[in-house]
Amino acid sequence: MNPPLVEPAPAPAGTYTFVVVSNRLPVDYEEAEDGAVTWRTSPGGLVTALEPLMRSSHGAWVGWPGVADRDFEPFENDGISLVPVRLDEADIKDYYEGFSNDTLWPLYHDVIAPPSFHRETWEAYIAVNRRFAAAAAAVAAPGATVWVHDYQLQLVPRMLREARPDLVIGFFNHIPFPPYGIYAQLPWRKQILHGLLGADVIGFQRSADAGNFSQAVRRLYGYPTRGVVIDVPTGENEESRRVIAKHFPISIDSAGYEELARRPDIQARARQIRADLGNPKTLMLGVDRLDYTKGIGHRIKAFGELLADGRLSVEDVTLVQVASPSRERVSTYMALRDEIELAVGRLNGDFSTISHTAISYHHHSYPREEMVAMYLAADVMLVTALRDGMNLVAKEYVAARFDVDGVLVLSEFAGAADELKQAILINPHDIDGTKDAIVRAVEMPKRERSRRMRSLRRKVAENDVAVWSASFLRALTGGAAVPAGIPDDLDLALQSIAGAENLLIALDFDGTLAPHVDHPEDARAIAGSREAVQALLDLPGVRVALVSGRALVSLQHVAQPQSSVLLTGSHGIEVQLDTPEIELNLLSTELEQLDTLARVLESISGEIAGTTIERKPAGLALHTRLATEEDGQKAERQAREQLGDQLPALTVREGKNVLEFSVRSSTKGDAVTKLREYTGADRVFYAGDDVTDEDAFGALRDDDVGLKIGQGATLASHRVRSPHEVTQVLARIAELRSAQTR
């Protein structure tokens, strides 16, 4: 058991209903010679995204104002309430430069640089996180939503929950979350997970990051995880809290970038930049904080070799590299700067001519207008990060290119690569591959450039930072009372989906078609739902499926579905797709694991009185209800230990006096994916009410429709009150589709 991180003294509540917490406040401090203090908003994407919400919902931002050793009272700037947290020089050295940037940053970025592990800086990290948590707890109104940001503040969610259990708490990690083999190096690996699991929703950039996090939770805490859902025991009456760990790829204010790019003065500046560089045929650009994760050295090496090989010539191609100053007091960064500047100097010495500079290198920060002018001026944008949470520069370049030109070369190790598939994707460690990609970018014909850029621009425009924050906050909140009927935005979505060529209607049963009842065997679909399903089944190009956590035999018994309804049960482990038999859908490796599992549990149960084994479709359960408490614990411990060694990939679910092991960790999300494949559906409608339905919502694509029934956090795009509305919705889809196909 972890000790409480904050003494649980009941804290008095504040007045803000929405609170953002980040290491740095979005303002810069300026002091005039006469001592007059002004604060200037530093316009990042996060501010742009959250500003409207901050204003409309009585919000506050908690963070460090950027000046050490000074106390500042809360103040208002540009209509946003700011709550400064004090950091002393020692905090900056130990919490910020030390633990955050010399331990967590390199560890989370695949140990590209060696992380240092120091107990003193860890202590400072705890102390400063506690200060942030206390500041947020003091200003948040009862039941407020608090959104904590980034790796510097991973203990804050738990500290806040302990101080203020009434709050709804979200956390977003802007940087990657590493695979377990790397994360496990951290001496305080359990404490950090414990800290994060204080949140209700934990957001990551990529689905791989969320997966790494869930795996760390399973390995270090053994908590059951199903898809994006983690059941975290509360320590009271066998209860657990549901935590969602999912990817929410961050973005930029794309309209804002495009607006700047369209300004005549900025376009003129772009032309000027090219002219000042001697109007090279190809201008290549790199823009990064000077950080070892960004692969600046790899980029320079590839460029240098291309010049040396004669595949590029300094007469034709110039590389502009902006390396904005960063973390200059951390020794790894000082060494990096020396290394990069040595490489730039050597390369220029070798290849530049009096009239042509190979690399135009700038160790400065520029105003945003100047950055946009550079984006417009650059024919090729090089993003060669060795590991990057997202990389906003890639998205900014795309947003700025309203002329639908320019080529983005993008590392597959940047989160942006998950979305920006029409970039030229590279592995920056592969210098030859990177060189080929650069040449391809330089030589790419105009038609291909436009085709790729058009598709990239659509992606960035549709998924801007407002969409990002809205989808995170929708997952986090959405607990307000749900009105009856079909809301207008849902009706619009139904109109669109009803026209699909092949439509899959996938429905949870309990709580969706049937109200919840005390005894599961008594559940029955509500009046009218059978007719609504039949109306859909009668239409061409529509398939209807039930997706249930129940075993299929039980589902058939209570739902009595029409014969053409597709069925999946036990969270996707059992399927019945137009066949008379139920298929178990296990791979031969899984069958072997099942045998090993049975052998281990039977031998434990054979030796410990009062324990029994129950066979499940894809696993076994060890029941200890009839054993003494001591024997029960012993059996569970032995099972965990032996299976942990022999079958580490098993999914473990803990219940009251039962420990369940499955060889298949199937979710309703897997069920939806399988059904989509089987039916060849181009659009999917999914309705469900339970937390296990969140996996299904998580498996939907942008143009699918997810419908959550009732209150509670959800990833679904729409919500209705009860099964009654679900029946209306199904009837409405049938009506719309038959009208459209008539």
Q: How many residues does the chain have?
A: 742
Helix axes 368-377, 264-276, angle to 10 degrees: 60
Which pair of structure tokens corresponds to residue 451? 């085709």
Determine, following the binding rule CB under 6 A, whether residue 396 of this chain makes contact with ligand GDG.
yes
DSSP structure string for 161-229 = HHH-TTSEEEEE--S----HHHHTT-TTHHHHHHHHTTSSEEEESSHHHHHHHHHHHHHHH---EETTE
Which pair of structure tokens corresponds to residue 453? 């850029």
Determine, following the binding rule CB under 6 A, whether residue 390 of this chain makes contact with ligand GDG.
yes
Among 6, 148, 199, 250, binds ligand GDG (CB under 6 A): 250
Determine, following the binding rule CB under 6 A, whether residue 368 of this chain makes contact with ligand GDG.
yes
With respect to ligand GDG, which residue has the nearer C-beta, 396 or 510? 396
Among 289, 530, 616, 724, binds ligand GDG (CB under 6 A): 289
Determine, following the binding rule CB under 6 A, whether residue 174 of this chain makes contact with ligand GDG.
yes
Determine, following the binding rule CB under 6 A, whether residue 389 of this chain makes contact with ligand GDG.
yes
Among 216, 317, 392, 575, binds ligand GDG (CB under 6 A): 392
State the Cα–Cα distance between residues 198 and 621, nearest whole angstrom: 29
Determine, following the binding rule CB under 6 A, whether residue 340 of this chain makes contact with ligand GDG.
no
Determine, following the binding rule CB under 6 A, whether residue 312 of this chain makes contact with ligand GDG.
no
Determine, following the binding rule CB under 6 A, whether residue 391 of this chain makes contact with ligand GDG.
yes
Among 322, 381, 547, 597, binds ligand GDG (CB under 6 A): 322
Show the binding pattern over residues 705-734: x = contacts ligand GDG (CB under 6 A), - = does not: ------------------------------
Among 80, 163, 371, 400, binds ligand GDG (CB under 6 A): 371
Tokens 């399973």, residue?
A: 218
With respect to ligand GDG, which residue has the nearer C-beta, 53 or 621? 53
Determine, following the binding rule CB under 6 A, whether residue 173 of this chain makes contact with ligand GDG.
no
CB of 108 to ligand GDG, least distance (A): 10
The letter for the amino acid at 25 is L
Q: What contacts 240, CB < 8 A, 6 or more positions away?
A: 231, 232, 233, 234
Helix (H) / strand (E) element for 684: namely strand 683-688
Determine, following the binding rule CB under 6 A, whether residue 175 of this chain makes contact with ligand GDG.
yes
What 3-state class would DSSP assign to 279? coil
State the Cα–Cα distance between residues 258 and 399, nearest whole angstrom: 6
Determine, following the binding rule CB under 6 A, whether residue 319 of this chain makes contact with ligand GDG.
no
With respect to ligand GDG, which residue has the nearer C-beta, 324 or 455? 324
Which pair of structure tokens corresponds to residue 394? 């890639």
With respect to ligand GDG, which residue has the nearer C-beta, 339 or 370? 370
With respect to ligand GDG, which residue has the nearer C-beta, 144 or 371? 371
Strands of the sheet with 282-289, listed across from one edge: 359-362, 317-324, 282-289, 380-383, 407-411, 424-426
State the Cα–Cα distance between residues 413 and 428, nearest whole angstrom: 8
What 3-state class would DSSP assign to 452? helix
Determine, following the binding rule CB under 6 A, whether residue 393 of this chain makes contact with ligand GDG.
yes
With respect to ligand GDG, which residue has the nearer C-beta, 390 or 466? 390
26-85 residues in contact with ligand GDG (CB under 6 A) are: none
State the Cα–Cα distance between residues 482 and 493, nearest whole angstrom: 18
Determine, following the binding rule CB under 6 A, whether residue 671 of this chain makes contact with ligand GDG.
no
Contact 128/95 with Cβ under 8 angstroms? yes
CB of 278 to ligand GDG, least distance (A): 23
CB of 377 to ligand GDG, least distance (A): 15
State the Cα–Cα distance between residues 480 and 711, nearest whole angstrom: 7
Of 531, 583, 569, 526, nearest in space to 735 by CA: 531
Contact 326/289 with Cβ under 8 angstroms? yes
With respect to ligand GDG, which residue has the nearer C-beta, 65 or 389? 389
Stretch near ligand GDG under the rule CB under 6 A, chosen from 390-398, 561-569, 643-651, 718-726: 390-398
CB of 109 to ligand GDG, least distance (A): 8
Applying CB under 6 A, which residues contact ligand GDG? Answer: 174-175, 250, 287, 289, 322, 324, 365-368, 371, 388-393, 396
